[in-house]
Amino acid sequence: MKAISQLVCGVLFVGLASAQAAEVQCDHQNMAMVPSTAASNFDLSRSGLVADPAKGLLWMRCSLGQNWDGTTCVGDATLFAQWQSALQSAETYEYQGLTGWRLPNAKELLSLVEHSCWSPALNEMVFPSAYNGDYWSSSYAGHYRESAGQNAGDGVVVDFVRGLEKVAYRTSGLEQQAPSAVRLMRELLKN
């Protein structure tokens, strides 16, 4: 009886993982992992925008510099070499009459990482044609500088090739941070 119970539980888990995997789209996916950003967790009904009702956030589906054509993001993401320039890009940005856009902090940006995908580590059903590289966050990297004794740059980036947080380094014997993309977000207004 115990063996039958274990078999049933195993079949249910595999069935659940398969059903959730159907809500994730990416080029490189580990099907053995339960998806972390299933499309059903988001409201995709707004053109070019995606709402995360559980967190109260509204995201741009496209990276800054790309345009939403009704089904996907087209064009190339604008890459920013400096953290301050990335922060300033959001200050006066307006999309569909909405203002108040900003760079997400590292925790908010990491919430978009799809752990079952890599290169990019994003659910492309939610964020199609995403830039496959680093994205700037609004988080300050100063705490890394003091704790690691390194000459860190000002900002924290999220590496969406692997889905990791890292510090943007300036020069000083360390590899310099490559230009990074921006995905804007704002608080979700309740209707």
Give the residue carrying structure tokens 């207004």: 189
**For residues 32-60, average pLDDT:** 94
Separation of first and last alpha carbons in the chain: 52
Instruction: Render pLDDT for 112-136 as a digit per residue (tens, 0 to 9).
Output: 999 999 999 999 999 999 999 999 9
More confident residue, 36 or 14: 36
Q: Is the pLDDT confidence value at 52 over 70?
A: yes
Whole-number average pLDDT of the chain: 83
Question: Which pLDDT belongs to residue 129?
Answer: 96
**144: pLDDT confidence band, cut at 50, 70 and 90?**
low
Residue 140: strand, helix, or coil: strand
The phi and psi torsions of 72 (rounded to 5 degrees) equal: -155, 175
Whole-model pTM: value is: 0.82
Assign residue 56 a region: left if phi > 0, alpha if psi is -120 to 50, beta otherwise?
Answer: left
**10: pLDDT confidence band, cut at 50, 70 and 90?**
very low
Strand partners, 140: 155
Q: Quick one: how many helices (H) and strands (E) in the chain? A: 4, 8
**154: pLDDT confidence band, cut at 50, 70 and 90?**
confident
Rounded CA-CA distance 101/168 in Å is 22
Composition of the chain by helix, strand, coil, percent to 5: 20, 25, 55
Report whether 115 contacts 34 (CB < 8 A): no
